[in-house]
């Protein structure tokens, strides 16, 4: 995993926040989006915990969510990308959706407790065969939030503990520290509102990495049609997209291209900055697999910054999941969306 690229998505949000601070007049007691990025270390235990069990200080987590006061008596829903570091022969990461309860622990100190389903992808060798081993489990999280008065309102030091429970393979526990921010309620700036009746055309370019040894990095390009759904009503946080993706040639296993359809949950962070998570089917043809057509899944995290009503810049992380224990791939891209 490219840690610097993941962190850049979070820093882009901070930059967008700084630009929009003067226009976000929402009262501080009306919670909106939540963003955090933390790094640390931990270890695996149980299951296939052979060799070095420590994560070698390569553990990190990025989360984006929103306070929902009317949900289960109040709480937050987070989309999480979690990387469990690099124990020997186990390079596992994945995605989770969590419900979290946030409470005051005395003074200005706050705490969080959360849990939710976690789909993981582990690059490992089993019985002499390298695999992208996928498993479902549970991600349990706890965190302390310590306010940082010298930074913008809502910014805090986040000290978090993650515990992964997997029924058929190893579990893991990690301690991490980093920054988080609770934003106030925000709506798109009227001058940059992505009107639902219009289509957007997107172009992006970046790197692709096959999650198996003996492969090279490649360049990947994407063409996209996107539609933001109604700004009011039950679909106000949603978008839909159709993509053509050329993943590039890794020189050994994957030279893949195809079409993906995704549903997106779009979280407005500030009037000009949004985070979104997307998922959907991805039908591909791989020239290094006898031109076979396969059904895969595409999971994406994206940060968007609106320059105007017609132009938006974005960076994203995309995981191609094959569910065939081979040839999963990560795409890191930057691009532009233009409104028709």
Domains of the chain with CATH codes: 25-184 (2.40.160.20), 200-339 (2.40.160.20)
Q: Count the Cβ atoms, other than its own, within 10 Å of residue 49.
A: 18
Over the Cα atoms of the chain, what is R_g? 20
Q: What percent of the chain has pLDDT over 90?
A: 72
Q: Does the pTM exceed 0.85? A: yes
49: confidence class by pLDDT, cuts 50, 70, 90: low
Q: Are 230 and 257 in contact (CB under 8 A)?
A: no
Catalogue the E-assigned strands of the chain.
Answer: 31-45, 59-68, 75-84, 91-106, 109-126, 129-147, 155-165, 171-184, 200-210, 218-228, 238-249, 255-268, 273-286, 292-306, 311-321, 329-339
Q: Which helix (H) or strand (E) segment is 17 a member of?
A: helix 3-20
Angle in degrees, CA 219, 311, 335, rounded to 5: 10
| pLDDT > 50? residue 11 | no
How do residues 239-275 score in pLDDT, each as one tens digit? 999 999 999 999 999 999 999 999 999 999 999 999 9
| pLDDT > 70? residue 16 | no
| pLDDT > 70? residue 21 | no
More confident residue, 193 or 327: 327
How do residues 299-335 score in pLDDT, each as one tens digit? 999 999 999 999 999 999 999 999 898 999 999 999 9
Question: What is the reported pLDDT for 48?
Answer: 67
26: confidence class by pLDDT, cuts 50, 70, 90: very low
Q: Are 310 and 195 in contact (CB under 8 A)?
A: no
């Amino acid at each position: 995993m490219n840690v610097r690229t993941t962190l850049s998505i979070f820093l882009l949000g901070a930059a967008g926040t700084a630009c929009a601070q003067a226009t976000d007049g929402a009262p501080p007691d009306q919670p909106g989006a939540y963003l955090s990025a933390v790094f640390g270390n931990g270890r695996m235990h149980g299951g296939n915990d052979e060799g070095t069990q420590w994560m070698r200080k390569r553990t990190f987590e990025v989360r984006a969510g929103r306070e929902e006061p009317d949900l289960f008596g109040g709480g937050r829903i987070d989309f999480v990308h979690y990387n469990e570091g690099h124990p020997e022969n186990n390079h596992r990461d994945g995605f989770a959706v969590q419900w979290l309860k946030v409470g005051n622990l005395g003074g200005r100190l706050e705490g969080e407790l959360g849990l939710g389903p976690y789909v993981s992808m582990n690059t490992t060798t089993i019985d002499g065969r390298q695999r992208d081993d996928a498993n479902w489990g549970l991600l349990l999280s706890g965190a302390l939030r310590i306010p940082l008065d010298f930074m913008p309102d809502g910014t805090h030091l986040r000290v978090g503990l993650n515990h992964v429970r997997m029924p058929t393979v190893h579990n893991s526990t990690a301690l991490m520290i980093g920054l988080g921010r609770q934003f106030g309620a925000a709506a798109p700036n009227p001058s940059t509102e992505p009107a639902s009746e219009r289509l957007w055309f997107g172009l992006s370019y970046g790197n692709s990495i096959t999650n198996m040894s003996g492969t090279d990095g490649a360049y990947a390009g994407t063409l996209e049609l996107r539609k933001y759904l109604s700004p009011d009503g039950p679909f106000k946080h949603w978008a839909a997209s159709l993509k053509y993706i050329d993943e590039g040639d890794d020189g050994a296993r994957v030279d893949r291209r195809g079409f993906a359809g995704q549903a997106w949950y779009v979280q407005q962070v500030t009037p000009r900055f949004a985070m979104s998570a997307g998922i959907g089917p991805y039908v591909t043809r791989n020239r290094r697999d006898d031109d076979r057509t396969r059904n895969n899944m595409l999971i994406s995290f994206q940060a968007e910054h609106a320059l105007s009503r017609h132009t938006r810049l974005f960076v994203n992380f995309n995981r191609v999941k094959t569910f065939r224990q081979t040839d999963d791939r990560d795409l890191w891209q930057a691009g532009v969306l233009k409104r028709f």
